[in-house]
Amino acid sequence: MRCTSGFMNKAIATAGLIFLSSVGYAQIRQRSELGFGLGTFNYTGDLARNYNFGNSKLAGTVLYRSNISSVVSFRASLTAGNLGASDNKNPIDAFAAKRASSFKLFLFEAATVFEYHFLDWRDTRRRLRFTPYVFAGFALFGISGGPPKNEEYSNVQAAIPFGIGIKYVVNPKWYVALEGGVRKTFFDYLDNISDEDPAYKNYQYGNKYDNDSYYFLGVTLTRTFYDIPCAVSPYR
């Protein structure tokens, strides 16, 4: 009986340790991520009606992400790079060829977005290691450089960022994401061309009803930091 009792005590103690370890592990949550990325800025507006890979310029980003739930995350980022285009490269029409305008500027963006993941990609009980996602939010951007201004406007403007991406779990600490996003602005002077008077036939005017947009396409690498909640008494 003593041997049996001793065995039972050891078994109960071992089971208790396994249970407590499992509970403790379950409470470890992948809450925060820090990372960086490289990619390109691009543009559409009066010099380029459609996305043109030939107008891509190098850009970089740093980001912080908080994983609110298994499928929703909040992200704050800073992104910077060059932006530019030219009528001399594939002009959109005869007026653009005659206009022969171009611009190049430096753009700095601060953005906050929410991400929605279609799959519970961080569930360690499953073998799924990737998920597509969508995002949307709010951004402020500042610009410097470019040709002399034809109009008075602020160099700091607002934009609505949104887009899609896919994430992959390299290991429990490192994640990689490929993302493409649009920044819809309320601004028509990224290219310094807007509503000049066409009666003067100077070919410098654009479409004042069509605001400019810019884009970020890139790859990010983030490291996860684990959050271990403090134990709480169930009798409180």
The string of pLDDT tens digits covering residues 122-181 is 666 666 788 999 999 999 999 987 545 556 788 999 999 999 999 998 888 899 999 999
Measured distance CA(79)–CA(62) in Å, rounded: 7
The whole-number pLDDT of residue 172 equals 80
Q: Does 235 reside within a domain?
A: no
Cβ–Cβ < 8 Å for 177, 219: yes
* HSE value, Cβ hemisphere, 13 Å, CA-based, for 31: 8
Q: Specify the pTM.
A: 0.75
Q: Does 14 reside within a domain?
A: no
pLDDT at 214 over 80: yes
Residue 7 CA, distance from chain mean position: 56
Alpha helices in the chain (DSSP H): 2-27, 94-99
Q: What is the largest CA-CA distance in the chain?
A: 108
Q: Does 12 reside within a domain?
A: no
The whole-number pLDDT of residue 103 equals 87
Q: Quote the number of domains for the chain.
A: 1
* CATH number for the domain harbouring residue 207: 2.40.160.20
Give 156 or 5, the one with higher predicted confidence: 156
Mean pLDDT for 211-231 is 84
Q: Does 65 reside within a domain?
A: yes
Q: Does 193 reside within a domain?
A: yes
Q: Does 41 reside within a domain?
A: yes
- Residue-number span of the structural domain to which 93 is assigned: 27-227
pLDDT digits (tens, 9 = 90+) for 13-65: 544 443 344 333 333 355 899 999 999 999 998 888 889 999 999 999 999 99
Q: Does 88 reside within a domain?
A: yes
Q: Does 9 reside within a domain?
A: no
* Residues linked to residue 213 through DSSP beta bridges, in sequence order: 44, 184
Neighbours of 137 (CB within 10 A): 18
